[in-house]
Chain A
Amino acid sequence: MNDPIILLQTGISGLLFGSVYGLIAFGLTLVFALTRLLNFAHGSFMLLAMYGSMVLSQRFGIDPYLSVLIHVPVFFGIGYLLYRWIFAGLMESELIVVVQLTLGFVFIIQSALQLTFTADPQTVRTFATNSRLAFGDIVIRTPLIIALVTAAVLAAALFWMLQRTDFGRFIRASVQDPVAAALMGIDVNRVRILAFSIAIALLGIAGPLAIPMWVLEPAAGMEITLFGFIVVVLGGMGSFVGAFVGGLIVGVAEAYGNFFLPGTLAPVVPYALFILMLLFRPSGLFGEA
């Protein structure tokens, strides 16, 4: 059990899958930093994307990875309408209203998935599901490498956008001081709508990336959200770099948890990490203290 190769392999696999958590957390961070909205349904939309890939795969034979091309515009649109019709009106509301509302979405999506696809766990095959790549003695599942490469490319694009484009500067300006941003001519509401839409669109990519590693269950949405929140807090609320680094850490923690602990105890590891972080560095890894 303590074979160093296996140990290393486990860690690397966790790290690679952590990049998907990074994508989830980046979206949460973007939305939270700009709007202070805590969207508990964030993970449910990722789940929706996964079921969407399942349908596209079963009905039309489209590989889940290819379904990303359909998901990105569709989920961007869902995010756009959702923010415009619902969240935009909640900016002044009490936290509890937003929490209740987004929890409502969680249960609506869960029930809808259950009615349509039953509560049975399902798996969806991709072209890479059973393929592995060997690096010397270390064998890594191909889907993990696809996940990392995709997430890394996206992360690089997102950071470039934040640092080098006007829209990215508008996002950072609106995060740092929305009043000053408005006085400088930025349409802060538009920035918020687009950022929210981007965050949901990212889930349309994260979902298919996770398909080869996960079992689809209607009730999984909340779990994905909570993992996302752990990552966000770990990385430092509002830090975009922290979101990705936090994602990698949670990925590794989860992998070793599954490796060393019995199945019922394993999911506790990321939460334990979360509590330790709150105790010793409540501002997170990259947070402003």
Chain B
Amino acid sequence: MLEIDSLSVSYGPVEVLHGISLSVGEGEFVALVGSNNAGKSTLLLTISGLLNPTKGTIRFLGKPMNGLAPHRRVADGIIQVPERKRLFPRMTVEENLLVGGSNARAIGERPQMVQRMYEAFPVLGQRRKQEAQTLSGGEQQMLAIARGMMAKPRLLILDEPSLGLAPRIVGDIYKTLVALNAEGLSVLLSEQNARISLQSSRRAYVIQEGRIVLSGNSASLANSDEVRQSYLGL
């Protein structure tokens, strides 16, 4: 459903992504593994249209995305849960959800979706009138995912969903993502935490200094010497 071909991205004169090709199929769970500054966030922001590539193409459901504004990609179903959650801090939990569900495809079912999110994440229901900035880190990540789900994603992109969270909460978050994927949602996520992302995903890409250096089945990548040494610390 998402096909990226030879994508290059620059910040000013400095090229940071060098000809990246990657794909996510319908219903797949794909991980993008790499250390800090490898170019993961740059790639994900480019997919969402916040950065423009200098070369290469992005297609989603067969449609070229190049040059399309971020909100139009949301309308097509590419929803990103950004790094460090980026909630609307002084808006309530409920308002964050309402904004998430405001695109044309989602807004018709918005009230039902809000209720469904409160059922899936009861703590958000309890805190619905609280400002997002008053939530704990784990609650904030749940809200960030719920806000993304409100937008009725066809492809859910998550940038470092485990960042700054306690291991137990990371486990919960990934359980939620695996469950959503099992219901048919396509997922693409980036992680420094190679262990859990390789455990949860079916396929993975390893990105290093703006290039894809390895790709394949997550389980076999997790057993490869290179990944074990560089990313799993074994």
With A180-B82, A183-B79, A185-B151 as known contacts, state yes or no: A172 contacts B70, CB within 8 Å: no
Chain B residues lying within 8 Å of A176, measured Cβ to Cβ, are 88-91
A185 touches B90 (CB 8 A): no
Chain B residues lying within 8 Å of A189, measured Cβ to Cβ, are 69
Of B98-106, B173-181, B184-192, B208-216, the stretch lying at the interface with chain A is B98-106
Check: B74 CB closer than 8 A to any chain A CB.
yes
Question: Given A181-B99, A185-B102, 4 other A-B contacts at CB below 8 A?
Answer: A182-B71, A184-B103, A185-B103, A187-B71
Chain B residues lying within 8 Å of A179, measured Cβ to Cβ, are 50, 82, 86
| Chain A residues near B (Cβ < 8 Å) | 166, 169-170, 172-173, 176-177, 179-189
B90 touches A183 (CB 8 A): no
With CB as the reference atom, state the residue of chain B lying closest to A167. Answer: B102
How big is chain B's contact interface, by range? 20 to 34
Give the CA-CA distance A172 to B98 in the complex, in Å: 12
User: Which residue of A166, A183, A186 has the most chain B CB atoms within 10 A of its CB atom?
Assistant: A183
Give the CA-CA distance A182 to B102 in the complex, in Å: 12
Chain B residues lying within 8 Å of A172, measured Cβ to Cβ, are 88, 90-91, 95
| Chain B residues near A (Cβ < 8 Å) | 48-50, 69-71, 74-75, 79-80, 82, 86-91, 95, 98-100, 102-103, 147, 151
A184 touches B98 (CB 8 A): no
B71 touches A169 (CB 8 A): no
Give the CA-CA distance A166 to B88 in the complex, in Å: 14
Chain B residues lying within 8 Å of A185, measured Cβ to Cβ, are 70-71, 74-75, 79, 102-103, 151
A183 touches B70 (CB 8 A): yes
B147 touches A184 (CB 8 A): yes
Instruction: Say whether chain B's binding surface is mostly helix, strand, loop, or mixed.
Output: loop
A184 touches B90 (CB 8 A): no
B95 touches A169 (CB 8 A): yes
Chain B residues lying within 8 Å of A180, measured Cβ to Cβ, are 82, 86-88
B88 touches A183 (CB 8 A): no
Give the CA-CA distance A179 to B70 in the complex, in Å: 9
Minimum distance in angstroms from B60 CB to a CB of chain A: 14
Minimum distance in angstroms from B187 CB to a CB of chain A: 16
Give the CA-CA distance A105 to B151 in the complex, in Å: 42
B99 touches A186 (CB 8 A): yes
A173 touches B50 (CB 8 A): no
- 13 A-B interface contacts by CB (under 8 A): A169-B91, A169-B95, A169-B98, A170-B99, A176-B89, A179-B82, A181-B88, A182-B70, A183-B74, A184-B100, A185-B74, A185-B75, A185-B103
B74 touches A184 (CB 8 A): yes
